[in-house]
Structure formats: structure tokens, C-alpha cells
Chains A and B, each alone.
Chain A
Amino acid sequence: MPCPDLSAPDQSSTDRSSIPEDARDVMSEGDISRALRRIGHEILERNKGSEGLVLLGIPSRGVPLARRLAACIEEVEGTAVPVGELDITLHRDDLRRNPVRTAHRSRIPAGGIDDRVVVLVDDVLYSGRTIRAALDALSELGRPRAVRLAVLVDRGHRELPIRADHVGKNLPTSSAERVHVRVAEVDGLDVVRISGGDAR
């Protein structure tokens, strides 16, 4: 299907602001890799294998995380799991509060999501609003058998009744703090840092 060349890395929705000096590391490269490996195993355990799994990353940093999870799963099970990306811009509930964001294309694996077990993958779970938008976006694409959620960091402060099935690290934060996730595919390094709030 012809489409404009979108192969250039998606930078527009990426938080390019630099991490403040006072930020402290909460997950190192090794921590992230171990957490993803564990999540990969958890997904397989829960699903009793890789049958019917589809991993959908939420841009921007959920996408490389989903690819890494798929690689972990393939390593364990020996079968490839379809990976896609789900752009949720058009379903956000804060569109009227912010300047317009460019909508990007969702890439859904060829087999679709009907009757599959979709695992949504994102970097940070915070208010839950992104996941609410993702669930809406999914419902327009088909009817999965089940939807699960895997996140690298759960920092609390939910504003909606949403929870993650697989969590890399639970990170109790104050809402004044900021969590910065950096992944090698987008930022050139793997790290989770936290900044702001009370200096501790």
C-alpha cells in the first residue's frame, strides 16, 4: 500500500527536554533489561505460551519496549510474536488543553487483533488516561479476546480505574516529581531517572 516515507524515526512526540541535573537514577540499563526479561516470562506464563499474542507499543517509547519484549519472548519460545504500534493521538481526552499534536500512523500486524490477546506496552503508567485512549483506539480496530497492559514503570497517581498486569518497577512518586525514561532506540541510552519534588 503506497504511503509517504515515514521511515525517519519519530521524534515529534518525543520528550526531548534534557533531564535536570538533580535527577537520580532509579533503573540502570541492567535493571531495565532484567525487568523486561521478567515481564516477557510473565506474559508467557499468563498466556500459557505465545499462542495468539500481539504486542502493541504506544509511541514513542512503548514501541521499542514492545519490540524488546517480543525479542525476549521469541528467545524463550522460539516463535515470533507480532509487534505493532498504536497511535492514540486522535483518542486523547486532553486535545483541547494542549497545542495540536501531529497524529501518526498506527501499525497493526497483518493478522489483525480480532480474537488475539493484545498486550499494550508503554513506558510509564501514571494517570491512566493514555491507556484509556488506547483502549478506545483498539475497540475501533477490532475485538481482541483480552487486553493486557505491560509498563516499565508504574508511578501511581491513577485518575481512572486502570491497572497494569505486568510492571517493571513500582515507583512511589509525588506528583511534583518527574519520571524520565530513556531507551537506546530513541535516546541512545537506557535509563530511568527521577527529578523534582523534595530534594532527598
Chain B
Amino acid sequence: MTRHLISSADLSRTEVEDILETAASMHDLQRREVKKVPTLRGRTVINFFFEDSTRTRSSFEIAGKWMSADTINLSAKGSSTSKGESLRDTAMTVDAMAVDALVIRHNASGACHQVAQWVRCSVINAGDGTHEHPTQALLDAYTLRTRLGDLDGKHVVIVGDLTHSRVFRSNVITLRTLGARVTVVAPPTLMPSGIGAWSAADGFATSWDLDPVLDGEGEHGPVDAVMMLRVQRERMSGGYFPTAREYTVAYGLTRDRLERLVARNDDVLVLHPGPMNRGLEIAPEAADSPQSVVLDQVSAGVAVRMAVLYHLLAGEDTPAPMPASATEGAVR
């Protein structure tokens, strides 16, 4: 396995399956009285969050602690970043303390990729701008596999603001890696430019209309799971859709849509990466339905992140050469 986890595309099918298998054993640990294994004793993991986060940051911290790694949380606020230190200097400073992994969330797409060029430690992408969020995709795949078994040929529909969604990008890659069929649905204004070429290359379908997809009309076929993406409040004023009400009517998982889905397939799953806007992209009836696995996703988050830390950090030490610029003076 690679030293870093920057993109879901870094992982082969075997690697994804190994991580999910390990995650299952980590999930058992979560139900035990003593929730700790000595596996990463002596390793240090820094969670550097330049953007706000509840579940990702806390689950990475818990994951590290349960594996006996030392975890330290840093946020942009309260660190030297607020004094104007560049990302490069901050990353190199932290790296010079001989940490083993840097978990980074940043509002700029590609920030993790960039940091990985500067440091010796492992870099784990915990969400970079509108680019990727690979551990979210892994925990979604884990949740789906728990309920559906092998995902080969299963049909997953992803609905929402695709342009600004890192969750969608990573999910499409991981789901395709596992052989699932994927259809992505968004209004034309929120469909990323150039998605035609990507969908043709990676073999997933796109649609501007939700209902024909959910009804399994024509080529779409029956639906096994629906993943609703959060409509980010800050996009509402961006002119991407006229009103919140109109978005709900055309693209929300309303009670009516859920009933039609369940009528076709009682075992259909509803996913949402959270935080949810109840009544906007997902109706409370859908969020709290027996089909909803939203809390399973959260519960899987810790186990999957433990598995990722394990696969990146537990093996042989293969120290990358110290970048020349970082050898001296970086801490001063």
C-alpha cells in the first residue's frame, strides 16, 4: 500500500477490501469493554484541521487513541497559521518533530497532495476543498457492504451538489473500484463541468432528473442505495438554484420519493454523509426511516479510520529521504 492516502484512486480493489476487512475487526473492538489495542504504540498522529469538522476530526482522534498512537489535534485557529505562516512552513515544522502521520483537512483542493511532496511522514486526506474525502468513501462502502454484501453490480444513486462535493468524488471512485453501478444526479448548475468525459472513462451514469432514476426507468434499473449530499448553505446564494423549496421538490428525498423507493425495494438504503439539512435535501421521514443508515455511517467512521491508520502506519518502516530543504533549520 502507498504511504499516503490522498485520493480514493490511490487504492486498488484488493487494498480497499483489505481495509474494509480490517475495519470489521476494528468494529468488533468498538463493542468491547477495553477499546484499545497496542498496535500503533509509539506512533504519533497529528490531526491538522484547517476547516471545521466534528465527526471526521473526532473519529480520527478516537481511531488513533484506540490504536495506542499518540494523537494531537491542531486547528488553523490557535496555530501559527493565524500568524500568517504558510502551509509549507507549517507542514514542514510539524514533520520535523518526527511525527508518523499528518491527517489534513484543508479548504483548498490539492492541499494534501501538495503537503505530501514536502514531508516525510504519511499524509492522510481528511477532505481537501471540493476535491476528495477518501476515508468518507471507505466508510460509506463499509456501511453498504455490511447491509448489501458484495457491492459488485449493486446500484448506488448519488444526489446533490456534485460540483462542490468531495464526498461524491471519492465515493464514485471507491464504488467503481468495488464494482458497483453508480448513477449521479444533480441539477445542470451543480453538475461538474467535464463530467461527461469522466463518467465515460470510469463507467458511471449521470442524470439531471431524479425521479426516472429512483423509479428505475429504462436503463437505470433497480436502486439498492441512495446517497443524499448536503446542500451547503453558502451555495444557496450562489444562484445555483432558485429557492430551497424548488431544490427540495426536484432533488430532495421527500417522504413521497422514499415511499416509492420502498414500494419497489424494501431493503433500499438511505445514506447521508452529514451534517443533514432536514427538510431540504432529505425529509425527516427519510432520515429517520428504517432504511436510513446515517448513524451506521458515523459508527463505521472510527473503525474505518482505525483500519486506514493501521494499513498506513503498522508496517515496515520505509523512511522516505528527508527533503533537502527540511534537513536543517526547519524547527527554528
Residues of A within 8 A of B (CB): 1-6, 12, 87, 89-91, 95-100, 102-106, 136, 140-141
Contact residue among B27, B39, B316 (Cβ-Cβ distance under 8 Å from A99): B316
Across the interface, which residues of A come within 8 angstroms of B316, CB to CB? 96-99
12 more contacts with CB within 8 A, not counting A4-B20, A5-B150, are A4-B24, A6-B24, A12-B21, A87-B25, A89-B25, A90-B39, A91-B37, A102-B21, A103-B22, A103-B307, A104-B25, A136-B38
B25 A96 Cβ-Cβ under 8 A:
no
Chain B contact-residue range equals: 20 to 34
Q: A3-B24, A4-B142, A102-B18 are in contact. Are A96 and B310 (CB under 8 A)?
A: no
Does B34 make an interface contact (CB < 8 A)? yes
Interface pair A140/B37, CB less than 8 Å apart: yes
Taking beta carbons and an 8 Å cutoff, which residues of B are in contact with A?
Answer: 1, 18, 20-22, 24-28, 31-32, 34, 36-39, 142, 145-147, 149-150, 307, 310-311, 314-317
Are B24 and A95 in contact, CB atoms less than 8 angstroms apart?
no
22 A-B pairs within 8 Å (CB atoms) are namely A1-B31, A2-B147, A4-B20, A4-B21, A4-B24, A4-B145, A4-B146, A12-B21, A90-B37, A90-B38, A96-B317, A98-B315, A98-B316, A100-B1, A100-B310, A100-B314, A103-B26, A103-B307, A104-B21, A136-B38, A140-B36, A141-B32
The listed residue (A4, A12, A87, A106) touching B149 by CB distance below 8 A is: A4
Distance (Å) between the CB of B183 and the closest chain A CB?
24
A48 and B26 CA atoms in complex are apart in Å by 37
Bound form: Cα–Cα A64–B3 in Å: 35
**In the complex, chain B residues whose CB is within 8 Å of the CB of A98:** 315-316
Q: A2-B146, A4-B24, A90-B39 given as contacts; is B34 within 8 A of A100 (CB)?
A: no
B34 cross-chain contacts in A, Cβ below 8 A: 140
Max chain B C-beta neighbours (<10 A), residue from A97, A99, A103, A136: A103
In the complex, which residues of chain B have a beta carbon less than 8 angstroms from the beta carbon of A141? 32
Q: Which residues of A contact B21 (CB under 8 A)?
A: 4, 6, 12, 102-104
A102 to chain B: closest residue by CB: B18
A139: min CB distance to chain B, Å: 8
Complex Cα–Cα for A141 and B28 (A): 11
Q: Do the beta carbons of A100 and B38 come within 8 Å of each other? A: no
B residues less than 8 Å from A95 (CB atoms): 39, 314-315
A140 neighbours in B (Cβ, 8 Å):
32, 34, 36-37
Closest A-B pairs by Cβ, 10 of them? A100-B315, A90-B37, A103-B22, A102-B18, A105-B25, A90-B39, A103-B25, A4-B145, A5-B149, A95-B314
Query: Complex: how many Å from CA A96 to CA B36?
Result: 19
**Which of chain A's residues have a CB closer than 8 A to the CB of B22?**
102-104
Question: Chain A residue with minimal CB distance to B28?
Answer: A105
Nearest-neighbour CB distance to chain B for A99, whole angstroms, equals 5
Which residues in B have their C-beta under 8 angstroms from that of A103? 21-22, 25-26, 307, 310
B39 engages A100 (CB within 8 Å): no
Q: Report B-chain residues with C-beta under 8 Å of the C-beta of A87.
A: 25
CB distance from B136 to the nearest CB of A (A): 18
* Contact B25–A106 (Cβ < 8 Å): yes
**Most chain A CB neighbours (cut-off 10 Å) among B21, B27, B149:** B21
| Cα distance A92–B97 in the bound complex, in angstroms | 27
Closest CB of chain B to A112's CB: distance in Å?
10
Smallest distance from the beta carbon of A56 to chain B beta carbons, Å? 15
Could you tell me the distance in whole angstroms from the C-beta of B204 to the nearest C-beta in chain A? 23
Give the residue name and chain of the A residue nearest to B18 (CB): A102
A contact residues around B314 at 8 Å (CB): 95-96, 100
Measured CA separation A178–B269 after assembly (Å): 50
The docked-state distance in angstroms from the alpha carbon of A95 to that of B22 is: 14
**What is the bound-complex CA distance between A140 and B29, given in angstroms?**
10
A106 surroundings in chain B (CB, below 8 A):
25, 28
Given known contacts A4-B145, A5-B150, A102-B18, A91 and B39 CB-to-CB distance under 8 angstroms: yes
- Given contact pairs A5-B149, A105-B24, A99 touches B32 in the complex (Cβ within 8 A): no
